[in-house]
Amino acid sequence: MPEPIRIDDLASPILTEAQRNVLAYTDSLDLDLSIDALHQSATALAGSSDFGDPAYRVRVAQYLQAVEDDAGLSSLGRLVQKNRVSRLLANRALLNELLRVHPEIHAIQITAPLIVVGLPRSGTTHLVNLIAADSRRRALPYWESQEPFPRPGEGPGVDGLDPRFARIAAEHASEQAIAPLTKAMHDRFPAAIEEEVELLDLDFSSYTLEWHARVPGWRDAYYGFDQDAHYGYLLTVLRALTFLRGPRQWVLKSPQHLEQLGPLIRTFPDATVAFTHRDPVAVLQSAITMLAYGDRIRRTSVDAPGLAAYWVDRIERLLQACVRDRALVPAEQSIDVVFADAFSGQSMKDDLAVVEQFYAAGGVELTGRARRQLQGYLDANPRGKHGRVVYDLAGDFGVAPAALHERYSFYTDRFAIPQETP
C-alpha cells in the first residue's frame, strides 16, 4: 500500500521547476478569448462554421464573460479555457455535419440507460467504471468526452490508434507532468470513464465551468437555463455516439444530475438510477483539496477560504435539489447506495452486490461472464492504487467539520448517512 500523501503547501504552494517554466511560457502568450477568435479557431479545427441553433451564442457570451470576470485566473488557466471553448465549438460543428450527412441518427433510440447520480467523490466514478467493465455496456471514456466526433479526413493511423485518443493521451501526460498528485485524487486518464456533463457542455449548458474557475455569474446563468432543452441536446449527442460506436446499453453518470432530476428522467423515462450517498463533509474536503492543488498553476494565488466557502454553498445547493426532487425518479427504477456501506473497502463483494442490485432494478441479468469482467476490473484497480491523500479541512481551509455536519443534516438525516469526518 502506498504511503499516505499529505499536501502541506496547499495555501502557499512551492512550485516545481516544471510548473514555473509552464507558467512563464503561458505568461508570454497573447491570448484572445473573444467570441469571434474562438469561432475562427473552432472553424479551423472542424472544417465547418455551422454551429447550429444561433441561440447558443448567448450562452457562449455568458460563459466567456464569466471567465473574464475571474481576475484570479493565471495565464495557464486562461489558455485552458481558450482551448476548451474552441474545442467545444468545434465539436458542435462536427456534430452538425454528422447529422446533416446521416439524418437517420435522429431515429436512434437510447433505451433503458443505467445512470449513476451522486456528489463528486461519493463513489460515482468507481461505480460507473466498474459497470463499464461489462462489455455489454456503452460508456463514455474521457478521450471521447473531449473529442466525441472525428475531424475531417481523420481515421485510425497505421498503428490502429485513433488520433483523438492520441491527442488526449498527450494532454494527460502533460497534465501529469505539472500536477502529478492529481491522479491520487481523480485520475482522468484517457480510457477512464467520464461524465456526460462534458457532452452537455457542448451546448454551453452545464455546471462544468465551476470546476475550472470562480464563476458565480456562470452559476447563476446556468440556473436560468431550460435544462429540458439541453438534456434533449445531450440525447442527440448520445444518439450520434451510438451511431459511431455501437448500439449497446449506455451507463452514464454525473453529479450535476442531482439538481436536474426532472430534466434527466423526462429525457430518459425508462432509465434506472443509482443514487450514491456519502458524508458531504468527506466529499467537500476531498473535492476542494483537489481543486486547491490544481489552483497552484490554474490561478495566480490559492484562496483556500474562498474556495471552501464557494463549494460549501454549492454542495448544499446540489443536496437541497436532490432531497426536493428524489421522488421524481420512481422507486421501482432506482436504488440508493450509501458509500460507507457499499464502498468502504472492506470487501470487493460489496461492490459486486451493488451492481447486482442495480442490474436487478433495471431488469438486467448479471451473467457469469459479466461478473468475471467486473471482478477483473476490481482486481486491477484496488482502492488507493495511486496513493491516498490525507485531508485536513480545518487546518487547510479553516472550516470546522462539526458546523458543516449540522448544515448538511437535512440530507444526511434523509438518507441515513453516517459521518466519516470527526
Question: What cell was used for 297?
Answer: 498553476
Burial-class residue 386 by CB neighbours within 10 Å (0-12, 13-18, 19+): middle
Residue 10 lies inside a defined structural domain of this protein: no
pLDDT of residue 344: 59
* Residue 91 Ramachandran class (φ > 0 left, ψ -120 to 50 alpha, else beta): alpha
d(CA 184, CA 114): 27
Residue 328 lies inside a defined structural domain of this protein: yes
Which amino acid does the sequence have at 93?
A
- For residue 334, the Cα-to-chain-centroid distance in whole angstroms is 21
- For residue 218, the Cα-to-chain-centroid distance in whole angstroms is 17
Residues in the chain where the model's pLDDT stays below 70: 1-2, 344-349, 384-386
The two beta strands, 272-277 and 137-138, are: unpaired
Helix axes 368-380, 348-361, angle to 10 degrees: 140
d(CA 321, CA 324): 5
Q: What is the CATH number of the domain that holds 256?
A: 3.40.50.300
Residue 376 lies inside a defined structural domain of this protein: yes
Which residue segment(s) compose the domain that 32 sits in? 17-153+163-415
- Nearest Cα to Cα of residue 395 among 285, 280, 309, 299: 285
| DSSP-assigned letter for residue 419 | P
Ranges assigned E (strand) in 292-389? 334-338
pLDDT of residue 301: 97
**Cross-strand pairs, 249:** 137
CB neighbour list of residue 256: distance below 8 Å, 6 or more residues apart: 195, 197, 200, 206, 207
The two beta strands, 114-118 and 137-138, are: unpaired
Residue 211 lies inside a defined structural domain of this protein: yes
Residue 7 lies inside a defined structural domain of this protein: no
Residue 4 lies inside a defined structural domain of this protein: no
Residue 158 lies inside a defined structural domain of this protein: no
pLDDT of residue 340: 86
Q: Where are the alpha helices (H) located in 109-162, listed in sequence order?
A: 124-132, 142-146
Residue 71 lies inside a defined structural domain of this protein: yes
CB neighbour list of residue 17: distance below 8 Å, 6 or more residues apart: none
pLDDT of residue 184: 84
Question: What cell was used for 41?
Answer: 479557431
| Residues 67 and 73 sit within 8 Å (Cβ to Cβ) | yes
d(CA 68, CA 81): 10
| Residues 75 and 27 sit within 8 Å (Cβ to Cβ) | yes
DSSP reduced 3-state for 239: helix
Ranges assigned E (strand) in 59-153? 114-118, 137-138
**Cross-strand pairs, 284:** none
pLDDT of residue 160: 78
Total domain count, the chain? 1
3-state helix, strand, coil in the chain (%, to 5): 60, 5, 35
| Residues 274 and 126 sit within 8 Å (Cβ to Cβ) | no
Locus of grid cell 446521416: 102
| Residue 397 backbone phi and psi in degrees, to 5 | -125, -5
Question: What cell was used for 372?
Answer: 468475471
Q: How many residues does the chain have?
A: 422
d(CA 23, CA 178): 10
d(CA 115, CA 271): 7
Which amino acid does the sequence have at 13?
P
